[in-house]
Structure 1
Amino acid sequence: MGCWARLPAEIRLMVLENVAEDYRYKSEPHARAGYAIVCQEWRAFFEPRNFQRLVLDQDRISDFELFLGRESPRSHRQEYVRHVVLRIRLGEYTCAVCKSKEDGRTVRRNNMAFSNAVWNLLIILSRWNPGHKGLTLELGAYSPSDSKHTFKDFRLEPNYPYQVPKDLDKRFESYKLRIREVGQLGLDSTSNDPYHGWVGGLQEASSVGLGAKQRIMGTLSLATNRRGFSALPRVEFVTGLLIRRQLYRAFSGKALARLLSESFPCLRRFRHEGWRNVDPSIQLRSEKDYECLILQSLPNTLRTLHVFEDSNKLLHSQHPPKAPNMSLGRALSRSSRFLETLSVAFLVDAEDFLTEFWPTKPLPTNVLPWENLRRLALTSRLLHPSRMARGDLGNLLVAAGRAASFMPKLVSMEIWNGGEGNACIFRYRNAAGERPRIILSTNWGSHVELDYDVIQCWANMPRHGQHLIAEVIPLPLRRNVMRTYAHIIHHLKLRYDVLDPISHYQVYWENEQLRLEEKAARARHRHELILS
């Protein structure tokens, strides 16, 4: 340490910065904690980084209070915390029940685990210094058994390595390592697990029963009250709420509504990535609850809202998703006028969001504008070559232009869709120092054009001053290799509004894995033909 002290302060800081930057998911898990006890100087440097993001389950909440509680001499650490991940660990299960829906007793036990964890954490946070600069709470729930039966997803495992964007590697090294470990995507018979639908490292959607899907996609609800509280504890410095697609299990719309309205009155950012339920009745009830949340529970401090409803071929017979909820789309349109950024994928359709601006209707005279909206991303089933010939696509883009005239600060809008063989993006861009432009990008062929009415609608906005550029640009996505929406997200300018960076990384890999599985299936089929 004597040699260290003789180094110039600038050199010491550079060394510490390099040590901190080199810390990745492959590092020794507790190494950075050890750096903080080297000396007082190292502690002052590493402690804020060590406590910046904390991952908890229900068993660690008491330690969380011990190390950061109000009465603790270490309470100064509270100001370091910017991101708390509450990952509720549910009970394990065996092969005796892995193919069946959770029974009532299991549901009640899971709800109690969720409720206790949320209440206990919020009670602790409510005692913190109210002058905290702002914290993001991330919620997730899983059972350690979820990755051991029918769904052997790498991202469901407790030791999933990619936790923050700096962990991500372009070569998918951990995914490839995991594939080699379990023998997937090969023809090795040792990777067989026929009871759970795995043969030769591959899994067919037809082998996955409804009960197994329902178990892994269970919905958690909050208990009505606890410890004499009539409402959830109020935590004004929670400014972000994050739920990522990594885990299948959902939180009920009523539970989220209570968190938004009772606990987080100063929320500014809400990202909700969920999975469409495989049970249509549960999905319908969930959408009704979500509509109530949209209409009644969004705090007026909210400025950024990202909603993504996911689906895949393994879980859903209808893929891409079913028809979006019309009333939910209209409710979101009415309740989003105070936002600065809005992205909604698949849960609602741009057609319903823009219904009051449809060109076949007279423009309403009492429109409440989106005064602060700068970025908007929506999906629509009308972005399909069959809809272009019928005029539906043109009507949608005219409606988008009419709505944009009530968005005076709009910089970027993207309406997009993608699926089996089909990819389309409509993009509007009006950034400072650039000429405004609209672009239609598809993989439909050379016959695609922007309607004259669409161009005129967008060009006639006063803020464009007749300088609008209208372009049609092909998307470099071959129709015969298009499988899911994942192909197109990489081409979106607003892709990190559509999906969290880690979620985008997962989607990109899963799409690549799908391609490799199809390739392996074709190889296996040829192998079987040769043997026969």
Structure 2
Amino acid sequence: MSSIPGSPCRKQVWDCLPGEIRLMILKILIQDGCKLAHLATVSQEWQAELERHNFARIKLTPSRLADFSSMVHRNHALADAVENLFSIVSAWDPKSDLILEISIYSLSNSQHWFKYLTSLPDSPSQTIPTEGYDDAQHGWVAGFRHAAPPRRAFDKIFSGIMEQGPFRNYVSKFEWWDQLPSVPAVASLLLRQQNRRRWKPNTLTHMFARLPRLQEIHYEPWGEWESEGMQMTEEESQYLFDFIRRFNIHLKRLVVFENLNQLYPAILQWFHLGVDTADVDSIRNPDPAVGRMVALASLQLEHLGASFLVNASHFCAAIEPSWEPVEDASDEIGVVLQAAAAMAMWMPRLETMEIWNGRKGLAAVFQYQTLRNTQQATITWRARWELNMERGLIRAWEAVEQLDISAIKSHGDAIPCLRLSSQVIRPVSLQQIQM
């Protein structure tokens, strides 16, 4: 089906279809038997219709009934608290440069299966408590985990914020956010990784819209490890970073750190699904479309940190259109570094660029840094292996330092080992990861 050039229907074909045809299409999708959750993100009309079907029948067993009641009650209280907060702070002086942190957790999180969870203020002086946990009922014996948490415990810890009430559907939730007062006093927003409950990226766009003077965002979401949730999050993340680029015009610093725990997917697959995890890669592959949107959003920023959410090759391809990501992994590092050099030509005021990666047993960083008030720059490679580079880059090479592989037990351990020059994660968040 095509539209007449110049007609108002050219860019919104769906809206130009007769109402009966749109309804017929939605009914076919519902009757098809496919999963509908990811389709609800297509438009507000789809959300309203599909969620009416999805939530037309909710099955509650006796064991879950009490949890459902308390969950809805807590979400009502949370919505009231957010509304009261925005209402109060909206009257503050717009020049206050307030730092707002939103952290949502339950005190019971660390009392049962997840003993090591902490909820601390964003202060580097805070010490992380360590102790030998002993609670056989919840899988802990003499400080070590001897049994996996049930799937229900994982779902509770990583549940979506305000996803189980108090709103009827996504449309009513977004309308609630949009009616909140604008809060120009907030200049910095912290959403740290200790907040394991997940903010939907689409929800964050409506939150950010109520903070018109945002200059700095620290966003540390937990990565998805299930395919359906991963696909929805990637699609919504594209919209989130496009929104930031278009509407958060005062933003100067954006630090995104997608956290991961390589044990979580393995525990779920082995203990709950009976799958052998020997060949399972618990590190997800970043979505190229999300990388492109982050790259475009970065063009207006003074500082960008995007760890694990974005692949460097996708970022380079978005800034330097003539370069395409390579398929040969054996030469990928060298080719990406060449693309990064070409990309830097588009950044005349670039002072520092760091391309890094880290996980258990692995850490590497490539660093480009200009020397202030000079026309010189240094290129540094730190890793647990040497990197052979072409002659033109070898001349600029300053140091190759071998790292101790035994010291790198997680992606968190890689960060101090690599001595990254700029902040990629909040200091307390890094402490919590290294526990």
Which TM bucket (shorter chain)?
Answer: 0.7 to 0.9
In the TM superposition, residue 107 of structure 1 has moved relative to its aligned partner by 4.7
The secondary structure found in structure 1 opposite 2:118 is: helix
Q: Percent identity?
A: 27
Counterpart contact for 1:214–1:279, Cα < 8 Å: no
The equivalent of 2:397 in structure 1 is: 470
Letter in 1 for 2:240: L
What is the aligned partner in structure 2 of residue 442 from structure 1? 383
Label 1:424 to 1:225 Cα distance change in 2 as closer, same or farther (>3 A). Answer: closer
Q: Per-residue displacement from partner, 1:46-88 (whole Å, max 9, x unpaired)?
A: xxxxxxxxxxxxxxxxxxxxxxxxxxxxxxxxxxxxxxxxxxx
Deviation of 1:312 after TM superposition, in Å, equals: 1.1
Gaps of 5+ in 1: 1-95, 185-190, 365-379, 457-467, 511-532
Give 2:129's aligned residue. 175
Of residues 144, 155, 161, the one that matches 2:107 is 144
Q: CA deviation at 1:420?
A: 3.0
Distance (whole Å) between structure 2 residues aligned to residue 499 and residue 362 of structure 1: 32
Q: 1:246 offset after TM fit, Å? A: 1.7
CA distance in 1, matches of 2:207, 2:113: 32
Match of 1:201 among 124, 136, 143: 143
1:144: how far off?
1.5
Partners of 1:424 and 1:349 in 2: how far apart? Answer: 14
Equivalent pair of 1:278/1:316 in contact (CA under 8 Å): yes
Pairing 1:150-229 to 2, within 5 Å after superposition: 150-156=113-119, 160=120, 163-165=122-124, 167-168=125-126, 172=127, 175-176=129-130, 179=131, 183-184=132-133, 191=134, 193-204=135-146, 207-221=148-162, 223=167, 224=172
The CA deviation at 1:400 is 0.7
- CA RMSD across the alignment: 3.2
Residue 491 of structure 1 corresponds to 417
Q: Give the match for residue 297 of structure 2.
A: 335
Q: Secondary structure at the match of 2:81?
A: helix
| Pair 431,506 (structure 1): closer, same or farther in 2 beyond 3 Å | farther
Partner Cα distance (2:177, 2:341) in 1: 48
Does structure 2 retain, via aligned residues, the 8 Å contact 1:240–1:269?
A: yes
- Aligned residue number for residue 79 of structure 2: 115
Give 3-state SS (helix, strand or coil) of 1:471's partner: strand
Query: How has the CA–CA distance of structure 1 residues 426 and 227 changed in structure 2, closer, same or farther, with 3 Å as cutoff?
Result: closer
Question: Are the equivalent residues in 2 in contact too, given 1:213–1:278 (CA < 8 A)?
Answer: no
Amino acid at match of 1:349: N
Judge conservation of contact 2:291–2:311 (CA < 8 Å) in 1: yes
Assess if the C-alpha contact under 8 Å between 2:252 and 2:301 holds in 1: yes
CA distance in 1, matches of 2:104, 2:380: 40
Confirm or deny: 8 A CA contact 1:102 1:215 kept in the other structure.
no
Distance (Å, rounded) in 1 between the aligned partners of 2:421 and 2:214: 22
Asked if structure 1 preserves the Cα contact closer than 8 Å seen for 2:193 and 2:220, the reply is yes
CA distance in 1, matches of 2:155, 2:311: 26
Partner residue in 2 for 1:283: 230
Poorly superposed stretches of 4+, deviation over 6 Å: 100-103, 225-229
User: Is 1:306–2:255 an aligned residue pair?
Assistant: yes
Query: Partners of 2:380 and 2:229 in 1: how far apart?
Result: 38
The reply on whether 1:240 has 2:203 as its aligned counterpart is: no
Report the residue type matching 1:300 in the other structure: I
- Structure with the greater relative contact order (CA < 8 A, sep ≥ 6): 1 or 2? 2
1:315 aligns with 2:264: yes
Give aligned pairs, total.
Answer: 351
2:378 is the counterpart of 1:415: no
Unaligned runs of 5+ in 2: 1-61, 267-279
Q: Which residue of 1 aligns with 2:274?
A: none
